[in-house]
Amino acid sequence: MEFHFSLDTIKEAAEKLWDAAGNARVLAFHGQMGAGKTTFIHALCQEKGVKDTVGSPTFSIINEYAYTENGLIQRMFHLDLYRLKNEEEALQAGVEDCLYSGNICLVEWPEKAPGIFPEDTLHVYLDIIDSTHRKLRIAYK
């Protein structure tokens, strides 16, 4: 699946991605700095009704958010691996525990520790078309 979106259509884009994601728990977001990973993850969280403020987890590698689904409070993780060097550091930071926790994990900079991702990770690729438009493509590797 592949489509273009702008900030004006990001809500619809987020809905579309959740529909396409099905039962996927781990979503890995690829794309250069400024591609819109954090912004799109923010939109995904809003779609799920996350109440906590969702920002870029610049200083913490792992951010935990709460949302309600089927009347139950669920947890969702937003991870930014940018500051990590490798798998070893990711393990020490507790990233693997999140990835295999069964909770939804939205991960920026997955290429920092490619070896620790579950087999069924949904990979999302964001590309800059121009200052306001982004291309989104998804693939199971």
The contact set with ligand ADP (CB under 6 A) reads 5-7, 10, 31, 33-40, 56, 108, 132-134
Distance CA(42)–CA(27), nearest Å, equals: 13
Q: Which is nearer to ligand ADP, 32 or 92 (CB)?
A: 32
* Residue number of the CB atom closest to Mg ion: 38
Nearer to ligand ADP, 81 or 93 (CB): 81
Min dist. Cβ of residue 8 to Mg ion (A): 20
Q: In whole angstroms, how close is the CB of 122 to Mg ion at the nearest point?
A: 18
Contacting Mg ion within 66-95 (CB under 5 A)? none
User: Which one among 14, 29, 31, 38 touches Mg ion, defined by CB under 5 A?
Assistant: 38
**By the criterion CB under 5 A, which residues form the site for Mg ion?**
37-38, 108
